Amino acid sequence: MLTTKGKAPIVSRQMLVFFAILLSYPLWADAAGLYEYLGIEIVIFIIYALGFNLLLGYTGLPSFGHGAYFGVGAYGYGLAQLYLDAGFIPGLLLAMLAGTVASGLVALFLSHRRGIYFALMTIAFGQVFWFLAIKLRGLTGGEDGLLNIFRPDIDFGLFQISLKSNFAFYYAVALIAVLVTLLLWRLVHSPFGMAIQAVRMNETRARFVGYQVWWIKWTVFTLSGAIAGLAGGLLNVAQESAFPDTMSLHASGLIVMMVLIGGGFVSFWGPVVGVIVYYLARDLLGSITEAWLLWYGLLFMAVMMFSPEGFAGGWGKLVAWVRRRKQGEVLMGGAQND
């Protein structure tokens, strides 16, 4: 299971590799048969999945309605542009605020629950938000969604950066992803990170060594909702619109699948792997067959059956096996030399 071990550097080696791939993507995407907009989607969902894994992988709280906060962020950003002409950065801050408020309110009801009751209530609340997004037509545009939210420029006072091109917007999203990664990495290696893992391992014991477990659960859920809101706001910028589909049970299930298939339960980087696998499956399998989701589902089932800890877990086992084998060879060599 997911436990932070040993001293945690501010920037780890894996993180440097991730940042290098992230920041160089537009340079090689074309040659690899990929494209910039795919990169934007992947990075947005990486932000979403990393925040979601704080809840699922680290704290052990399964939310099957997290699409609600993602969607609330998307609508929050859109409404901020339509009614307040808020601009890029204030719009994203408002998207985060919308995700924070929505998830914070829901967490008040959830943080005293656990197990199946917690999971079912996340679904119920998720459905409430989805239903509201469809029914509040005056505010959300109903099933048609919130349209015509054009990408603004980033205004730095002395100069402006246009986000009209996918290249520029990709880098804006990638920089936000770097910040979110650094923040979450630090958080899971801090005393708070240790406490949330303790809550996952044994809620009763955590209470009896003095942790206010409901407050910890509330904080993690709200923080995760805030990051989902931020990611939702970015998706709105990417799509120049917001749709209720992002809040559906199906969409909420997808983020759970991405985190699980990647190995969110055993690695900080599991969600990153899971998002990449999903989008590559969508594009590569999707170019072959319309039934790509069926094949992705089968892939998910196979991974859960043969490597329940996802790709990251499988990779970890492989590395451990290679190490054992090497050690065995060294010992055998030593014995032969003796």
Partner 1 sequence: MTESPPLFVAEHLHKRFGDQVVLEDINLSFNAGSISGIMGPNGAGKSTCFNVLTGMYRPDGGSVFFDGEDVTGLAPERIVEKGISRSFQIMNLFDEFTALENIMVATNRVRHGLHRPFWDIRADSEISHKAAEVLAMVGLTGLENSLASDMSYGQRRALEIAVSLATEPRIVFLDEPTQGLGADGRANLADLIGTLQEKFTLVIIEHDMQFLFRLANRISVIHWGQIIAEGTPDELKANEWVRTSELGKMTTC
Binding residues for partner 1 (CB under 8 A): 1, 3, 5-8, 186-187, 189-192, 194-195, 197-198, 201-202, 204-213
Contacts of 134 (CB under 8 A, 6+ apart): 140, 142, 143, 244
Q: 107-137: string of b/e by CB count within 10 Å (b at 16+)?
A: beebbebeeeebbebbbebbbebbebbbeee
Measure the CA–CA gap between 336 and 338, rounded to whole angstroms: 5
Q: Which of 272, 251, 220, 224 is nearest to 67 (CA)?
A: 251
- Alpha helices in 263-309, H assignment, sequence order: 270-280, 286, 292-306
CB of 107 to partner 1, least distance (A): 17
Give the three-state DSSP class for 242. Answer: strand
In this structure, are strands 153-155 and 160-162 parallel, antiparallel, or unpaired?
A: antiparallel
Q: Judged by CB, which is closer to partner 1: 112, or 325? A: 112
Q: Judged by CB, which is closer to partner 1: 60, or 99? A: 60
Are 199 and 213 contacting, i.e. CB atoms less than 8 angstroms apart?
Answer: yes
CB of 2 to partner 1, least distance (A): 8
Q: What is the DSSP string of 90-149?
A: HHHHHHHHHHHHHHHHHHHHHTT--HHHHHHHHHHHHHHHHHHHHH-HHHH-GGG-B---
CB of 264 to partner 1, least distance (A): 15
The beta strands (E) that lie in the chain are given as: 153-155, 160-162
CB of 305 to partner 1, least distance (A): 23
CB of 155 to partner 1, least distance (A): 30
CB of 268 to partner 1, least distance (A): 15
Q: Judged by CB, which is closer to partner 1: 18, or 192? A: 192
Q: Judged by CB, which is closer to partner 1: 5, or 156? A: 5
Q: Judged by CB, which is closer to partner 1: 80, or 216? A: 216
Phi first, then psi, for residue 160 (nearest 5°) are -125, 150
Q: Judged by CB, which is closer to partner 1: 67, or 193? A: 193
Q: Judged by CB, which is closer to partner 1: 206, or 230? A: 206
CB of 189 to partner 1, least distance (A): 6
Are 270 and 57 contacting, i.e. CB atoms less than 8 angstroms apart?
Answer: yes
